């Protein structure tokens, strides 16, 4: 791999890590799991860049790798760790609002694919076509996952605030 390609990969990792973390957090709903997901994704992106040479669209490759890694981890639920630590004496202050917590909780109750579609469509601001291409789905499947996911989120939010 050329040094300028290596520098481009390094710059991408430094510049996009936070954005990938935000998307990962919306996908999985847990800070520590999101950090692990981003770390796994970035390792795969760097190794993919080294293996394939120059990546045409590193942003799209990283986003697709993030979503695919998330969905694959959900399929292998029996392999995930179940960490149980001691609880703190008192809870810390959370900067999140009640609405943000309610939306993330409702998002966590969706299926992995519905959650991935909603995050890509509304957080990453991808089109239906780009989301379908990234997830390897038909456009109609993306539309139905979007409609069902949004309906479930609306129903949960109505219950929360009524």
Q: What percent of the chain has pLDDT over 70?
A: 80
Show the tokens assigned to 25: 């957090």
Rounded CA-CA distance 27/125 in Å is 15
Long-range pairs of 139-144 with CB within 8 A, sequence gap ≥ 24: 142/117
4-25 average pLDDT score: 85
Q: What pLDDT score was predicted for residue 142?
A: 95
Model-wide pTM > 0.85: no
Condensed to tens digits (0 to 9), the pLDDT of residues 47-97 reads 877 666 666 788 888 999 999 999 888 776 555 555 556 665 666 665 557
Condensed to tens digits (0 to 9), the pLDDT of residues 101-134 reads 888 888 889 999 999 999 999 988 899 999 999 9
Q: What pLDDT score was predicted for residue 24?
A: 93
């Amino acid at each position: 791999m050329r040094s300028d390609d290596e520098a481009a990969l390094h710059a991408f990792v430094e510049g996009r890590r936070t954005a990938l973390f935000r998307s990962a957090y919306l996908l999985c709903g847990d800070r520590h799991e999101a950090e692990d997901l981003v770390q796994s994704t970035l390792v795969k992106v760097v190794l993919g860049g080294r293996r394939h040479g120059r990546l045409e669209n590193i942003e799209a490759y990283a986003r697709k790798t993030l979503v695919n890694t998330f969905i694959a981890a959900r399929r292998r639920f029996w392999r995930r760790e179940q960490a149980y630590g001691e609880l703190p004496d008192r809870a810390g202050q959370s900067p999140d609002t009640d609405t943000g917590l309610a939306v993330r909780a409702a998002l966590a109750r969706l299926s992995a694919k519905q959650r991935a579609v909603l995050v890509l469509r509304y957080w990453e601001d991808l089109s239906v076509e780009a989301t379908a291409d990234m997830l390897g789905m038909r456009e109609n499947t993306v539309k139905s996952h979007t409609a069902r996911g949004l309906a479930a989120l609306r129903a949960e939010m109505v219950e929360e605030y009524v």
